[in-house]
């Protein structure tokens, strides 16, 4: 399985957000959509709030 980058997390989150709305921005749902573990998520992002902040910057 190829390494999943922070950019991959951002793209997955934007897709999920567009399909399911803001209630889908839970770590568990992101992990299911990405087919990755919570450990993979936390490898790239220390906290959910930091992830959401980075996601907004990425989107802009």
Per-residue pLDDT of the chain in tens (60 residues, 90 and over written 9): 678 999 999 999 999 999 999 988 899 999 999 999 999 999 999 998 999 999 999 999
Residue 2 has a pLDDT of 74
Tokens 């889908």 identify what position? 24
Provide the CATH number for the domain formed by 6-59 in this structure. 1.10.10
The structural domains of the chain, with segments of one domain joined by +, span 6-59
Tokens 């989150």 identify what position? 13
Distance, CA of 37 to CA of 7 (rounded, Å)? 16
Residue 1 has a pLDDT of 61
Nearest to 36 by CA among 28, 47, 26, 25: 28
Residue 32 has a pLDDT of 96
Query: What global pTM score does this model have?
Result: 0.87
How wide is the angle at C-alpha 59 spanned by C-alphas 47 and 36, nearest 5°? 50
């Amino acid at each position: 399985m190829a390494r999943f980058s922070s950019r991959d997390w951002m793209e997955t989150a934007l897709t999920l957000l567009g399909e399911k709305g803001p209630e889908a921005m839970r770590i568990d749902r992101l992990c299911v959509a990405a087919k990755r573990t919570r450990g993979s998520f936390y490898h790239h992002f220390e906290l959910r709030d930091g992830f959401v902040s980075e996601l907004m910057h990425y989107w802009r």
